[in-house]
Chain A
Amino acid sequence: MRASVLLSSLALALVAQAASLTGPRTLVLLDTLDEADAYMELWTDMQERHYNVTLHEVSSPVALSKHDQRLFDHLMILSPKMKDYPKGMSAKSVVGFVAAGGNVMIAGSSELGNTIRELSREFDVEYENKFTSVLDHFNYDTHLGKEKHDAIVVDPTTHMAKAEKIIAQDKVPGPILFRGVAHAVNPSNSLLQPILWAPQESYSWESVNLEESANQDPTLSGKGISLVSVMQARNNARIAFLGSTEMLTDAFFSAPVNKHGDEKETVSGNRLFIEELTKWTFQEKGALDVVAVEHHKVGEWEAPAHYRIKDNMTYTISLAEYHDGEWHPFSADDVQLELIMLDPYIRKTLDQVPLDDQSTVGTFTTTLQLPDQYGVFKFTVNYKRPGLTYVESVTTVGIHPFRHDQYPRFISQAKPYYTSAASMGVGLLVFSVVYLWGGLDSSVKTTKKA
């Protein structure tokens, strides 16, 4: 049974537009619906940001898509214990959901089942074994992690990725509390990026029989333990992996943090961290759009049908960035233009036109001289930066050679050849005249006749 009654639909009806760029429909998978009570603040935050949250327990059937159309825009899997997918869902359907542009957030815990583990492997993320936890005997919270030292305190200034477009440092004021399972990301996968990792003294170990002495080294420790990772697929769908469902709960959102050895009590930064993380994952920020591409010869204003080699031309691209529910002008100093015919012939950084109050888009422009090479070229802006949607703008143009009357008829370097050809002609004339009327002995002819 679908239980979407939790949130007031009245409030949602008043909202004209969702804060997320791709849509408000969110499906949340929970092990049991009773667990929903633990996340009340998360639901409230998401409701304020105009999400249409559907809570769902794994035991009842649900479909992610119908007639090849997504039924949801975002999927949150907060059901680590899940043994089987709900009827109608499968690993393949989740991957298909991502391929269709859906965003996914996956959270694990110490009791993580194989279903989620295998799903994460599809994205090059490997969760640690069942019943292991991230333990730290130095950076634990004296209240929540009193018994097992498993509620660890992570300092975002040192252990969070400096990816301003995903989570800006100044948005997370306090330390982040984490209790759950470690995961490792494939470092050679450039789409995948750890956002939060464990302190140096942490290690991943079985959290059930802590009394027994350890007889081997932990497989993961220190910085090798990723606590939160994000991925942006090539189609710009975003996926977040968390090792802890508990870091999303009310208990962790506003918990006072008493780090072991620290006198001072601080407030957990979990709420703002998760807010920024969900904003990024569910396409509320960091989305770029190519608004316009213009190119023309210097001194003209219309794109010509084709260019000629060595023409001077101007290329302009306008980019807008989506955040806080609106499109804003995008600004950067590293947008590059490439002129490609199999290889890049020219690669040039575009200059940004200074923004003013009237600007709705960020305009990047450059003037350049086309190469001395004719053919079909592509003007490409291939802008891929962490935390931003991928921009790949391709404009195909033809570059023609000079016409026969557009370059000098005679080249000074070729003068010996001209002279030679002319002298052959003159030589032939002189030779013919002498041969015919030069008074040579006519014996040739007479001999022939004889």
Chain B
Amino acid sequence: MEEIKSASSTLWKSYFKDTPKSLKLIDGYMVYVLLTGIIQFIYVCIAGTFPNNAFLAGFISTVASFVLAANLRIQTNPKNASQFPTTSPERAFADFLACNVVVHFAVANFLG
């Protein structure tokens, strides 16, 4: 128990110390998206699937946002730079925005 405590506190500290701010921002965004998705899932369990299209649109928008943010985090992480020799962080962010625009068009279309 004691070891787990010390291990997690070490992890926590090193996260705050070594992670670039931009990645922390992405992590915060991802937590926010994840919570939104969980709340929706609890709501659909209580209220039922009607209207199903609206539920799917809302839920898919969170899932897609989460996945795209995860991609952005992987591609902009300095430690992964060797794996993405042709993808600059600017390029990664542009991809992220373009994909998000497509997702939100689809979601808006499916929502009502």
Q: Which residues of A contact B (CB under 8 A)?
A: 409-411, 413-414, 416-421, 423-425, 427-428, 431-432, 434-436, 438, 440-441, 443-445, 447-448
Contacts and interface: CB of A to CB of B under 8 A. Distances in A.
B57 A441 contact: no
- Which 10 residue pairs are nearest across A and B when measured between Cβ atoms? A417-B58, A414-B54, A447-B78, A420-B58, A417-B54, A440-B21, A424-B61, A431-B29, A440-B22, A421-B61
Given A416-B39, A431-B25, A440-B22, A411 B78 contact: no
Contact of A416 (B58, B81, B104): B58
22 contacts: A410-B112, A413-B50, A414-B54, A416-B39, A417-B57, A417-B111, A418-B58, A418-B112, A420-B36, A420-B37, A420-B40, A424-B36, A427-B32, A427-B33, A427-B65, A428-B65, A434-B25, A435-B22, A440-B20, A443-B20, A445-B88, A448-B76
Interface in B46-70: 47, 50-51, 54-55, 57-59, 61-62, 65
Nearest to A443: B20
Nearest to A424: B61
B51 A411 contact: yes
B40 A417 contact: yes
B65 A424 contact: yes
B87 to A, nearest CB: 9
Contact of B22 (A411, A413, A414, A444): A444
Nearest to A435: B25
A418 B65 contact: no
B111 A424 contact: no
Interface string B63-87: 0010000000000101001000000
A126 to B, nearest CB: 60
B7 interface: no
B108 A421 contact: yes
B78 A414 contact: no
Contacts of B15: none
A418 B97 contact: no
Contact of B78 (A431, A432, A444): A444
Dominant secondary structure of chain A at its interface with chain B: helix
A413 B51 contact: yes
Contacts of B111: 417-418, 421
A440 B25 contact: yes
- Most A C-beta atoms less than 10 A away, residue of B21, B26, B100: B21
B67 to A, nearest CB: 12
Nearest to B60: A421
Contacts of B93: 435-436
A414 B25 contact: no
A417 B49 CA distance: 11
Contacts of B43: 416
Contacts of B25: 431, 434-435, 438, 440
Contacts of B108: 421
Contact of B81 (A411, A414, A421, A447): A447
A390 B78 CA distance: 85
B107 A421 contact: yes
A372 to B, nearest CB: 13
B20 A441 contact: yes
B57 A444 contact: no
Given A413-B51, A414-B51, A434-B25, A425 B58 contact: no
Contacts of B54: 411, 414, 417-418
- Residue among B32, B107, B112 having the largest count of chain A Cβ atoms under 10 Å: B112
Contacts of A435: 22, 25-26, 93
A138 B82 CA distance: 115
Contacts of A427: 29, 32-33, 65
Contact of A417 (B55, B81, B88): B55
Contact of A432 (B20, B90, B97, B107): B97
A419 B111 CA distance: 11
A418 B22 CA distance: 29
Given A416-B40, A444-B76, A447-B78, A424 B62 contact: yes
B70 to A, nearest CB: 13
Contact of A441 (B21, B61, B65): B21
A379 B67 CA distance: 52
A416 B22 CA distance: 30
Contacts of B61: 420-421, 424
Given A411-B54, A417-B58, 19 more contacts: A410-B112, A414-B55, A416-B39, A416-B43, A417-B57, A420-B62, A421-B107, A421-B108, A424-B61, A427-B29, A431-B25, A431-B29, A434-B25, A440-B20, A440-B21, A440-B25, A444-B89, A445-B89, A447-B78
